C-alpha cells in the first residue's frame, strides 16, 4: 500500500475510535482528555498496536492543536478582563502559584530529575485545566453560584501567568549554562511583555485587519496570523503556544467573537490530535514505574488546590460549603500540563509518562470529587452550627 | 423600592446579572457567550449556591420579560450594565412626600450632588429615555440611575428627602 493510503486508514480509524470514546466520556460526564491520552498510549511507542505511518502527520497536527488551544483561550478573554482579574485576585493567584507549584518542584527534586525538570513538574501541578473546570461548573449548574467568579478569576490569572512561564521554561530547556539561560529567559519575558503591550494598547487596530462579516477570510486570516506569530515566537525561543495566546488576546470585539465561532471546530479536531500525539510519543512501557509517584503527586497537589480554592473563596466572603466547592472545582489539570510536559519531555525520560498519569488521575478524581459537595452528608457536615449557646443562655 | 442589579463578569463563560429579592434570595440571569441563557435561584440553606439553574431559550426569555411587564426597561438596564465594572443601575421610585414631586428633574441636581446619571424615567410602565433637566417629576415615577454604590445610595436619599 502507498504511504498516504496507510495514513488515511490509520488516521480515519483512530478518529472514529476517538469519536466513540468522546461519546462514552460525555455519557459518564467526564472530559474526553483522559480517554484520548489512553488511546494515544495504546497506539504509541511501546503500546499495544504501534501506528508508524501517521506519526508525523499527528506530530504536525498536534503542533497546530497546541496553537489553536491557546489562541482560543486568548480569544475567550479580553485584555481588560485579564487586567481587572489581575487587580482583583492577584493575592489568590499568588497563593495558587505558591501552594501548587512548590510541591511540584519539590517532587521533581526528590525524584532527582534536576532543576529544569523540577520547574516543569511545578508548572504541571500549578495550572488547573480551565476547559475541564469551566465545563464541570456548567454541567453541575454552578454558574449561578457566588464562588464561581472566584474560581474563574484564578483560572484567568493562571493563564496569564502561563504567558510568562512557558517562554521561561522553553528558554531553560534549551539553555546550556546558567548565564545563557538567564539571558534567554530575559529575552523571552521581554518579548512577551512587548507583545502583551501591543495587544493591550493596539488590539483594536489588530482586530481591524479582519472583517467579522465573512467567515472564510476571517478563518484563514486569524489562523494565518496565529500560526505566523506562533512561528516567529518560537524562532526567538518564546514558545509558539504563547505567541498564539497573545494573538488571541489582541483580537477583540465582534472579530474575536466570530473568530471563536469559526475556529472552535478546528480547535476540537487538532486538540484531539494533540492529546493523542502526546500519548503516541510517550513511552507506554514506562507507565507502570510512574504509576505510584503520579498517584502521590495527584493526591498531594489536589489537596493543595482544594486549599487554594478554599482560602480564595474565604477571602471573597463565601461560606464553608462554597469554599469546598471552589477548591474541588480547581483540582483537574489538563491541557496546559500536557503542553508543559511536551515542551520539557527531554529533560527527564519519565516526565511525559508521569504527566499522562497525573492528568488522567486529576481529571477523573476532580470530576468525581466535584459532585461530593452536592451530597446530603457533605451538606450536613459543612452546615454552620446552629446557635445553641444563645438558646441556652436566652 | 430600590432594586440593585449587580453585574458579575464570568471570563470565558459570559456575564451574570444578580438581583437580591426582598426576602433575601438571589435571582441570577446567566448570559453565556454562546447565546444560551440560564435563570438561577439561590439555595435557601446555602446562599452561595443555587438551588435551580434553569436553561431558558430566547423566546422563553422574551415571554417571561413580557409577563413581568418591563421587558423594555430591563433590556435597557442590561445594556447599560454590560459596559463597565463597578457601575450599578438602580431604579429609584419617587415617593409621594418627596420635595421634588411636581418639580423638574433639573431641580434635583442629582448629577452635581451625587455624580449619578439619570438615564431614564419609567412612568406608567412607559419609558422616557434620556430625560432633559426640564422634565417634570410626578409621584410614583421610577427614576433609572447609573452610578457607583455610594453615589446611588446618596441619590436615593436625595430624591426621597431632598438636599440636606
Q: Tell whether B97 is within 8 A of chain A (Cβ).
A: no
Residue A263's SS3 state is: helix
Question: What was the ipTM of the complex prediction?
Answer: 0.76
Provide the pLDDT for residue B71: 46
Provide the pLDDT for residue A24: 92
- Between CA A351 and CA B54 the distance in angstroms is 43
B106 burial level (CB within 10 Å; 0-12, 13-18, 19+): middle
Q: How far is B44 from chain A (nearest CA, A)?
A: 12
| Phi, psi at A184, each rounded to 5° | -60, -45
Q: Of B10, B45, B48, which is closest to A143 when you measure between CB atoms?
A: B10
pLDDT band of residue A327 (cuts 50, 70, 90) is: very high
Q: Tell whether B26 is within 8 A of chain A (Cβ).
A: yes
| CB half-sphere exposure, A89, CA atoms < 13 A | 27
pLDDT band of residue A392 (cuts 50, 70, 90) is: very low
- Interface touch B13/A383, C-beta < 8 Å: no
Provide the pLDDT for residue A313: 94
Q: Are strands B26-32 and B14-20 parallel, antiparallel or unpaired?
A: antiparallel
Model confidence pLDDT, tens digit, residues B89-106: 888 888 888 888 888 888
- Between CA A306 and CA A330 the distance in angstroms is 7
CB B123 within 8 A of CB B138: yes
The distance in angstroms from the start CA to the end CA of chain B is: 21
| Phi, psi at B134, each rounded to 5° | -85, 0
Asked whether the predicted pLDDT for residue A299 surpasses 90, the reply is: yes
Residues A17-22 have a mean pLDDT of: 90
Question: For residue A358, which of A140, A161, A107 has the smallest C-alpha distance?
Answer: A107
| Cell numbers given for B12 | 470565558
Provide the pLDDT for residue A1: 57
Residues of B whose CB is below 8 A from A155 = 11-12
Question: For residue A264, which of B10, B11, B12, B36 has the smallest C-alpha distance?
Answer: B12
Asked whether the predicted pLDDT for residue A200 surpasses 70, the reply is: yes
Q: Of B12, B53, B85, which is closest to A76 when you measure between CB atoms?
A: B12
Provide the pLDDT for residue B149: 82
C-alpha pair distances (Å), A275 with each of A44, A57, A268, A338: 12, 14, 11, 8
Sign of CA dihedral A209, A212, A213, A216: positive
Model confidence pLDDT, tens digit, residues A205-259: 878 888 888 888 899 999 999 999 999 888 877 788 888 988 888 888 888 888 9
Q: How far is A329 from chain B (nearest CA, A)?
A: 14
On average, the pLDDT of chain B sits at 82
Total Cβ atoms within 10 A of residue A110: 11
Residues of B whose CB is below 8 A from A144 = 16, 26, 28, 30, 38, 40-42, 50, 53
Q: Tell whether A156 is within 8 A of chain B (Cβ).
A: yes
- Between CA A177 and CA A246 the distance in angstroms is 29
pLDDT band of residue A188 (cuts 50, 70, 90) is: confident
Backbone region of residue A317 per phi and psi (left: phi > 0; alpha: psi in -120 to 50; beta: other values) = left
- Interface touch B49/A81, C-beta < 8 Å: no
Residues of B whose CB is below 8 A from A146 = 26, 47-49
Q: Tell whether B31 is within 8 A of chain A (Cβ).
A: no
pLDDT band of residue A301 (cuts 50, 70, 90) is: very high
Nearest residue on chain A to B85, judged by CA atoms?
A84
Residues of A whose CB is below 8 A from B10 = 143, 148-149, 152
Residues 40-79 (B) with a CB less than 8 A from some CB of A: 40-42, 45-50, 52-53
List, in sequence order, the alpha helices (H) in A146-214.
148-174, 178-208
Asked whether the predicted pLDDT for residue A55 surpasses 80, the reply is: no
| Proportion of chain A above pLDDT 70, given as a percent | 93
Q: Tell whether A353 is within 8 A of chain B (Cβ).
A: no
The larger pLDDT score, comparing residue A392 to residue A141, is at: A141
CB B29 within 8 A of CB B20: no
Residues B139-143 have a mean pLDDT of: 87
- Interface touch B48/A318, C-beta < 8 Å: yes
Domains and CATH numbers, chain A: 3-378 (1.20.1530.20)
Residues A124-135 have a mean pLDDT of: 92
- Interface touch B30/A143, C-beta < 8 Å: yes
Amino acid at each position: 500500500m502507498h504511504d498516504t493510503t496507510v495514513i488515511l486508514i490509520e488516521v480515519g480509524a483512530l478518529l472514529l475510535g476517538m469519536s466513540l470514546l468522546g461519546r462514552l466520556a460525555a455519557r459518564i460526564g467526564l472530559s474526553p482528555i483522559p480517554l484520548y491520552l489512553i488511546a494515544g498510549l495504546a497506539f504509541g511507542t511501546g503500546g499495544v498496536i504501534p501506528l508508524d505511518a501517521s506519526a508525523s502527520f499527528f506530530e504536525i497536527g498536534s503542533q497546530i492543536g497546541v496553537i489553536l488551544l491557546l489562541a482560543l483561550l486568548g480569544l475567550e478573554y479580553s485584555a481588560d478582563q485579564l487586567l481587572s482579574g489581575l487587580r482583583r485576585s492577584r493575592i489568590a493567584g499568588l497563593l495558587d502559584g505558591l501552594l501548587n507549584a512548590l510541591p511540584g518542584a519539590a517532587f521533581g527534586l526528590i525524584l532527582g530529575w534536576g532543576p529544569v525538570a523540577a520547574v516543569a513538574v511545578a508548572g504541571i501541578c500549578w495550572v488547573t485545566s480551565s476547559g475541564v473546570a469551566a465545563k464541570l461548573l456548567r454541567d453541575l449548574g454552578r454558574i449561578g453560584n457566588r464562588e464561581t467568579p472566584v474560581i474563574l478569576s484564578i483560572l484567568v490569572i493562571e493563564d496569564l501567568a502561563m504567558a510568562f512561564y512557558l517562554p521561561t521554561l522553553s528558554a531553560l530547556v534549551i539553555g546550556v549554562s546558567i548565564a545563557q539561560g538567564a539571558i534567554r529567559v530575559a529575552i523571552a519575558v521581554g518579548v512577551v511583555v512587548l507583545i502583551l503591550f501591543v495587544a493591550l494598547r493596539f488590539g483594536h487596530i489588530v482586530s481591524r485587519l479582519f472583517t467579522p462579516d465573512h467567515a472564510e477570510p476571517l478563518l484563514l486570516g486569524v489562523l494565518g496570523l496565529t500560526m505566523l506569530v506562533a512561528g516567529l515566537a518560537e524562532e526567538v525561543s518564546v514558545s509558539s503556544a504563547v505567541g498564539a495566546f497573545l494573538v488571541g488576546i489582541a483580537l477583540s470585539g465582534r472579530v474575536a467573537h466570530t473568530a471563536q465561532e469559526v475556529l472552535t471546530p478546528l480547535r476540537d479536531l487538532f486538540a484531539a490530535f494533540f492529546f493523542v500525539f502526546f500519548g503516541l510519543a510517550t513511552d507506554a512501557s514506562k507507565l507502570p514505574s510512574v504509576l505510584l509517584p503520579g498517584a502521590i503527586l495527584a493526591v498531594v497537589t489536589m489537596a493543595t488546590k482544594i486549599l487554594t480554592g478554599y482560602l480564595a473563596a474565604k477571602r471573597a466572603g463565601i461560606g464553608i460549603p462554597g469554599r469546598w466547592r471552589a477548591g474541588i472545582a480547581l483540582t483537574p489539570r489538563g491541557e496546559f500540563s500536557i503542553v508543559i510536559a511536551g515542551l520539557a519531555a527531554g529533560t527527564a525520560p519519565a516526565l511525559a509518562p508521569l504527566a499522562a498519569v497525573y492528568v488522567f488521575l486529576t481529571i477523573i478524581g476532580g470530576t468525581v470529587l466535584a459532585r461530593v459537595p452536592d451530597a446530603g452528608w457533605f451538606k450536613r457536615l459543612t452546615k454552620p452550627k446552629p446557635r445553641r449557646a444563645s438558646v441556652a443562655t436566652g | 423600592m430600590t432594586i440593585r442589579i449587580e453585574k458579575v463578569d464570568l471570563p470565558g463563560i459570559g456575564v451574570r446579572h444578580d438581583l437580591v429579592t426582598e426576602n433575601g434570595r438571589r435571582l441570577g440571569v446567566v448570559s453565556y457567550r454562546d447565546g444560551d441563557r440560564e435563570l438561577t435561584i439561590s439555595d435557601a440553606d446555602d446562599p452561595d449556591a443555587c438551588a435551580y439553574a434553569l436553561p431558558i431559550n430566547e423566546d422563553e426569555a422574551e415571554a417571561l420579560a413580557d409577563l413581568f411587564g418591563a421587558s423594555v426597561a430591563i433590556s435597557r438596564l442590561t445594556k447599560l450594565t454590560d459596559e463597565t465594572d463597578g457601575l450599578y443601575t438602580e431604579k429609584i421610585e419617587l415617593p409621594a412626600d418627596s420635595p421634588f414631586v411636581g418639580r423638574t428633574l433639573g431641580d434635583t441636581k442629582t448629577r452635581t450632588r451625587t455624580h449619578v446619571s439619570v438615564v431614564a424615567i419609567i412612568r406608567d410602565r412607559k419609558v422616557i429615555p434620556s430625560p432633559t433637566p426640564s422634565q417634570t417629576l410626578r409621584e410614583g415615577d421610577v427614576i433609572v440611575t447609573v452610578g457607583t454604590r455610594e453615589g446611588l445610595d446618596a441619590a436615593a436619599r436625595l430624591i426621597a428627602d431632598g438636599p440636606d
